[in-house]
């Protein structure tokens, strides 16, 4: 039975929970050097970034941001390892697609990694470019796009 998360916008009080999500996913999914980027990102997160709640606790986070030049970008999607592979990521992707659609549709840009690209491909995202070690040593960057009508 897949987990059905709730969603709400990020608040500054979620910062510690989000950094815990990040720490729980490194070094497997994120390069160590990315933590300072995420910390800086969270400073600007209120209002657009979202968290997903499972059993009333923060179990994941992600955001759909307008992209310079048009379209949208899915940023910093990360889930607690305790809920991974139980349908929460799929619920997040459906929610993200809904967000893009509610703004009239368009291209959703995704900066994936070699580990997460197969997940996004399941939702129709296509690889546009790949950069070896693009996120850090051993973590390859895979740029993908998902068209939303
Ligand atoms: C990538 C991530 C968001 C996927 O979320 P999830 O809740 O585990 O995904 P779901 O359970 O909804 O999986 C849906 C399907 O995709 C598959 N899948 C999930 N993650 C996958 C991956 N990394 N590679 C290949 N398939 C994957 C699942 O097996 C499932 O398949 P099924 O329907 O045949 O059972 C989550 O694992 C995560 O947060 N990973 C760590 C952080 C990360 O890598 N974020 C992306 C940064 S670019």
Cα 99 from Cα 75, distance rounded (Å): 13
- What pLDDT, on the 0 to 100 scale, is given for residue 65? 96
- What pLDDT, on the 0 to 100 scale, is given for residue 31? 82
Give per-residue pLDDT as tens, 9-67. 999 999 999 999 999 999 899 888 889 999 999 999 888 999 999 999 999 999 999 99
Largest CA distance in the chain: 40
Distance from residue 65's CA to the centre of ligand 1 (Å):
21
- What pLDDT, on the 0 to 100 scale, is given for residue 1? 86
Cα 35 from Cα 102, distance rounded (Å): 31
Q: Which two tokens stand for residue 128?
A: 């546009």
- DSSP H or E segment with residue 42: helix 35-43
Q: What is the mean pLDDT of the chain?
A: 95
Q: What are the E-state strand segments in the chain?
A: 6-9, 50-54, 57-66, 72-79, 106-113, 126-136, 139-148
Closest CA to 57 of 92, 105, 20, 25: 20
Give per-residue pLDDT as tens, 71-90. 999 999 999 999 999 999 99
Residue of 1, 76, 116, 119 with the most ligand 1 atoms within 8 Å of its CB, for mutation: 119
Residue nearest to atom 43 of ligand 1 (CA): 78
For residues 83 and 60, the answer to whether their CB atoms sit within 8 Å is: yes
- What pLDDT, on the 0 to 100 scale, is given for residue 64? 97
The CATH class that applies to domain 6-148 reads alpha beta
Residue nearest to atom 22 of ligand 1 (CA): 119
Give per-residue pLDDT as tens, 127-142. 999 999 999 888 999 9
Assess whether the C-beta atom of 90 lies below 6 angstroms from ligand 1. yes
Closest ligand 1 atom to 80 CA: 39
* Domain spans of the chain, in order of start: 6-148
């Amino acid at each position: 039975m897949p987990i059905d998360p709730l969603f709400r916008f990020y608040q500054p009080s979620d910062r510690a929970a989000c950094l815990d999500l990040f720490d729980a996913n490194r070094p497997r999914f994120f390069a160590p050097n990315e933590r300072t980027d995420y910390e800086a990102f969270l400073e600007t997160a209120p209002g657009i970034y979202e968290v997903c709640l499972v059993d009333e606790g923060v179990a994941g986070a992600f955001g759909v941001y307008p992209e310079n030049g048009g379209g949208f970008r899915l940023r910093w999607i990360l889930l607690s390892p305790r809920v991974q592979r139980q349908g929460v990521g799929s619920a997040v992707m459906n929610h993200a697609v809904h967000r893009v659609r509610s703004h009239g549709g368009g291209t959703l840009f995704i900066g994936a990694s070699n580990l997460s690209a197969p997940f996004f491909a399941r939702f129709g995202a296509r690889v546009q470019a790949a950069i070896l070690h693009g996120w850090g040593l051993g973590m390859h960057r895979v740029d993908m796009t998902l068209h939303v009508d």
